[in-house]
Amino acid sequence: QIQLQESGPGLVEPSQPLSLTCTVSGNTNSDSYYRWSWIRQPPGKELEWIGYILYNGRTYYSPSLSSRTSISWDTSRNQFTLRLNSVTPEDTAVYYCARVTPVQYGVASRREGYWGQGTQVTVSS
C-alpha cells in the first residue's frame, strides 16, 4: 500500500511557472515498471494526462503540453515534481499525482492505481 500527496501553490499568476510536488509514502517499489504520473481535471472537463516519470528517470509528456512540462524525481525524499511553464487561465484545474501501470496510463479512473487527493490550482492575476 502506498500513499501519494500533492502540494504546491493554489494560485499562480499568468505567464509564471507552476511547480507541484507529490510526496510518496509506503512501499514505493523502486523498479521502473510503474508510471508515476501527473493528471489534471479542468472544471467541467475530463481527466487530462500530463505525463509520467519512471523510477529510472525516463519521462514521457503529452504532446500538447510537452513544450512546457518537465517531471523529475527526488528519490532521497520520495518526491516527484511537476513543472509547467508559462501558465494561462486554461491551466486552471485540480491536479493529481498517481502511480499507475503501463496499461492503466492514459485510461485509468481514480479508482485504479494509487492516486493523491488532488490539489486545486487556479491561474489568475
Cα dist from 22 to 37, 51, 69, 89, 117, whole Å: 10, 13, 15, 22, 11
- 83 close to 17: Cβ distance less than 8 angstroms: yes
- 48 close to 42: Cβ distance less than 8 angstroms: yes
Spell out a b/e string for 42-62, using b for 16 or more CB atoms within 10 Å of the CB, else e. Answer: eeeeebebbbbbbbeeebbbe
- DSSP 8-state symbol, 28: -
Q: What is the pLDDT of residues 32-64, one digit of tens each?
A: 899 999 999 999 999 999 999 999 999 999 999
pLDDT over 90 at 27, yes or no: no
Q: What is the pLDDT of residues 61-120, one digit of tens each?
A: 999 999 999 999 998 899 999 999 999 999 999 999 999 999 999 998 989 999 999 999
Distance CA 7, CA 2 (A): 17
